[in-house]
Amino acid sequence: MWLKELLKNIEKNMTKEKRLKKRHNAEKRFRFYGLASIFLALLFVLILVQNIFSKGSSAFMKTAINVEVFYDPELLGVKNGATKDEILEADFFDITIETLLKTFPTNNLDEENQLIDLFTTDAELEIKNALINNSNLLGKTVSLEITSSDDIDQLHKGNYPRDLPEERRRISNFQLSIYDNFLENKKIIKNFNNYFFKNGDSRDPEIAGIGGALVGSFYSILICLLLSFPIAVLASIYLEEFAPKNKITDFIEININNLAAVPSIVYGLLALQILLATIQLPRSTPLVAGITLALMTLPRIIIPCRASLKAVPPSIREGALAVGASKFQSVFHHVVPLALPGTLSGTIIGLAQALGETAPLILIGMVAFVVDIPSTPIDPSSSLPVQVYLWSESAERGFVEKTSATIMMLLSFLIVMNFLAVYLRQKFEKRWN
Amino acid sequence: MSDIKIKSKNLNVYYGNKQALFDVNLDLNEKEVTALIGPSGCGKSTFIRCINRMNDVIDICKVTGNIEIDGIEINSKELDVVSLRERVGMVFQKPNPFPKSIYDNISYGPKIHGKGESKNELDEIVENSLRKAALWEEVKDRLNEPGTGLSGGQQQRLCIARAISVNPEVILMDEPCSALDPIATAKIEELIDELKKTYTIVIVTHSMAQAVRVSQKTGFFHLGKLIEVGKTEKIFKNPDNKMTQDYITGRFG
């Protein structure tokens, strides 16, 4: 009998120990899973960032070739001491060809063409601009850095395999020998690629830039902010503080949540039908993009805005009412200021999403090839994410690095905006704690 | 001393389908402290929230019957609830200072009612209110610091000062000491004693001892009904009702 008791006791103790061990093991396992998932997530982010950086960072530099330009007034068709206007009128084609051909001896027309192809199609413009900036150069010989063609640029950056057989290369053996000669004479220089920030889109990668896309994105987001922020804030204040709680407001609330989950391309279709087809707003413009993005962003701002209003303790409202504040006063003197940090960070994150939105903009025609930088919101324009999309489809090697560099720009804007959101929230919430 | 300030007649309150108060008839005397006691959920707080119509905030709450202050019906539609709350201040269970400076906490009420046109007048109101709430000495050097940085007891006195700042006639206190330690509680009770010279005070409390200490009149609520009301001394020494007896001796509640 006592033996049975003893055995039972031992078993009981054993199971207790076992259970304890099991519990500890469960916790250990959970910690391990958690750590593993974090590491995995970090790994993916690192791979992404590394990939974008390794492809994109070279886009911030461009390759240029040092050439000697003789600004021959006779060839330009202007007299010595010509004014700026006269220089603007002049034809720089002949002087450009002459300058470029001087850089390497050629024997026939084909070789001449191959030589000229080593320089950017904008060489003429660069030579012209140098003279416009300093008209004293007329009649003198100066050395200029002319941007190289995309092929030479990529070759110089090491993105171009030169050991392919000639017929599979875009660069001929003759061009390679010129390149080697330039390299030997230290005529090839790498400098900061200001075109990338300053220029609009182009068919030629070496002169294509995100200037137009930057301005387009800026206008779009500005219009989006101006439209969505006041509407969203007022809507959330009304819904949260003033609206009666009934079936209609419930219905509205559900649908706001639904709208926030609607795929963005649907907003693009809506804009296409209503803004472009019916109201006939100008196609491909930041104005239409801004309105479309505002529609999309509205529910995404209303939700955090309502959440931060809801987070203000009811005791604050009661305190205000109890000293005789009206409903309006209690809301606008007390609740709204307290909800502001949450509202602002919600807005910024909503705008950050809008900044990265591509699909609706493609539908409203921002995918059009726009070379000019828009000066007003009703000029045709591109935007950063659409520029990424456009360039990622282009065949030229130079666009590969430009695509990644544009993504880097876009990501840095997003990171800055998100940091701003966190900063605002922390700064204003700390004040009273 | 026994002028009736507030008179409730057949007051019924409903939260949706649930009735929270049943035909409450209660007279509150001017410049006296009336304590309302009773177990949780018995309707004491609901009752005092009727006096400044704080129940208006709750959508599903419906009030029938009458409450008169100085003979004027306050449940009528014509009565402006803002001016009612200017006359009937309230202090809540949990101290709820605005997350603003101590000064702004007090000056907010006078400002929205257009009292204290100049900075000097406002300064005066703030000082007077804080003095009446026995807080002036403790905070006079840091009026610009946030009110939420004070201790719990100080915060509650700040809330009392805030209620006083608009110079009300009645102050409603909904368990003002339930979140405070005994020392802070003692201070508030002292303060209530002082305030009753100027104001009519209604206090909801769960502490019998507190009711005995601060009030002249006590009402006992149970399940939404006013069971018994009378002089505090009488209620606690010799109540008429068996239930009151049971409650104050701690047999239930």
Query: pLDDT by residue (tens digit) across A76-109?
Result: 888 777 777 888 888 889 999 989 998 888 889 9
Find the CB nearest A321 among B59, B85, B97: B85
Stated as kind and residue range, the H or E segment containing A401 is: helix A398-430
Q: Rounded to a whole number, what is the distance in Å from the CA of A333 to chain B's nearest CA?
A: 9
Q: pTM higher than 0.90 for the full model?
A: no
| Residue-averaged pLDDT of chain A | 90
What are the pLDDT digits (tens) for A256-296?
999 999 999 999 999 999 999 999 999 899 999 999 999 99
- Cα–Cα distance between A418 and A158 in angstroms, integer? 35
The answer on pLDDT for B231 being more than 90 is yes
Those residues of chain A whose CB sits closer than 8 Å to some CB in chain B are 244-245, 313, 315-326, 329, 333-334, 338, 431-433
DSSP structure string for B62-109: EEEEEEEETTEESSSTTS-HHHHHHHEEEE-SS----SSBHHHHHHHH
Q: Assess B53–A contact: CB distance below 8 Å, yes or no.
A: no
pLDDT for the residue numbered A285: 93
pLDDT attached to residue B1: 47
pLDDT beyond 90 at A160: no
Say if the Cβ atoms of A323 and B109 lie within 8 Å: yes
Residue A431: pLDDT band with limits 50, 70, 90: low
Tokens of A307: 């959440």
Q: Which residue of B has its CA nearest to A243?
A: B59
Can you say whether the dihedral through the CA atoms of A196, A197, A199, A201 is positive or negative?
Answer: positive
Residues with Cβ within 8 Å of residue A305, at least 6 apart in sequence? A232, A233, A236, A339, A342, A343, A346, A347
Contact list, B114 vs chain A (CB under 8 Å): none
Which chain A residue has its CA at the smallest distance from B109's CA? A323
Residue A244: list chain B partners with CB under 8 A. 59
User: What is the arithmetic mean of pLDDT over A51-60?
Assistant: 91
Strand arrangement of the beta sheet that strand B200-204 belongs to: B88-91, B170-174, B200-204, B33-37, B217-222, B225-231
- φ, ψ at B144 (rounded to 5°): -95, 0
CB–CB contact A322 B163 (8 Å): yes
Residue type, A263: P
pLDDT in tens, B98-121: 999 999 999 999 999 888 788 899
Closest-CA residue of B relative to A428 is B99
Lowest pLDDT segment from A3-7, A404-408, B234-238: A3-7
Residue contacts between A and B (CB atoms, under 8 Å): 69
Which among A166, A190, A61 is positioned nearest to A114, based on CA atoms? A166
Element (H, E) at A418: helix A398-430
CB contact under 8 A, A321 and B57: yes
C-alpha closest to that of A201 among A371, A317, A4: A371
As given in the structure block, the two tokens for residue A404 are 């990644």
Using the Cβ of B86 and the Cβ atoms of chain A, whether some distance falls under 8 Å is answered with yes
Q: For residue A315, which residues of chain B lie inside 8 Å, CB to CB?
A: 92, 94, 96
Q: Which residue has the higher pLDDT, A372 or A10?
A: A372
DSSP state of A373: P
User: Which residue from B59, B148, B162 is facing A323, i.e. has the nearest CB?
Assistant: B162
Task: Tell which residue, A211, A213, A216, A214, has the closest CA to residue A199.
Answer: A211
- Chain A: residue whose CA lies nearest to B144: A432
Could you tell me what percent of chain B has a pLDDT over 70?
A: 99
Rounded Cα gap, residues A90 and A125, in angstroms:
12
Cβ atoms of A95 and A76 within 8 Å: the answer is: yes
Residues B86, A324: C-beta atoms closer than 8 Å: yes
Q: Give the amino acid at A132.
A: I
> Which run of H or of E encompasses A145?
strand A141-147
Residue-level pLDDT at A358: 93
User: Which of A316, A323, A329, A336 is the best substitution to test chain B (most B C-beta atoms within 10 A)?
Assistant: A323
Dist CA A81 CA A84 (whole Å):
9
Q: Which residue of A has its CA nearest to B112?
A: A325
Higher pLDDT residue, B117 or A150? A150
Q: Give tens-digit pLDDT for A340-384.
A: 999 999 999 999 999 999 999 999 988 888 888 999 999 999 999
- Look at strands B225-231 and B217-222 and give their pairing: antiparallel
Residue-level pLDDT at A309: 94
pLDDT at A430: 53
DSSP B118-171: SHHHHHHHHHHHHHHTT-HHHHGGGTTSBGGGS-HHHHHHHHHHHHHHT--SEE
Check CB contact of B134 with chain A, cutoff 8 Å. Answer: no
Q: What is the pLDDT of residues A186-207, one digit of tens each?
A: 899 999 999 999 999 998 999 9
The closest alpha carbon to A153, from A119, A203, A194, A105, belongs to A119
Phi-psi region of B114 (alpha: psi -120 to 50; beta: other; left: phi over 0): left
Name the minimum distance, in Å, from the CA of A235 to any CA of chain B. 20
Considering only A72-76, A127-131, A339-343, B227-231, which range has the smallest mean pLDDT? A72-76
**A222-231, A286-295, B74-83, B120-129: least confident range:** B74-83
Q: How many residues are there in chain A?
A: 433
Residue A269 to residue A246: CA distance in whole angstroms? 32
Is the per-residue pLDDT at B73 higher than 50? yes
Query: Can you name the residues that pair with B222 across neighbouring β-strands?
Result: B225
Supply the mean pLDDT for chain B: 90
The tokens describing B48, both together, are 């005092």
Among the partner-chain residues B54, B146, B163, the one whose CB lies closest to the CB of A432 is: B146
For the stretch B132-160, pLDDT in tens is: 888 999 999 999 999 988 998 899 999 99
Q: What integer pLDDT is reported at residue A433 of this predicted model?
A: 42
Q: Is A269 helix (H, G, I), strand (E, B) or coil?
A: helix
Residue B193 confidence (pLDDT) above 50: yes
Q: What percentage of chain A reaches a pLDDT higher than 90?
A: 63
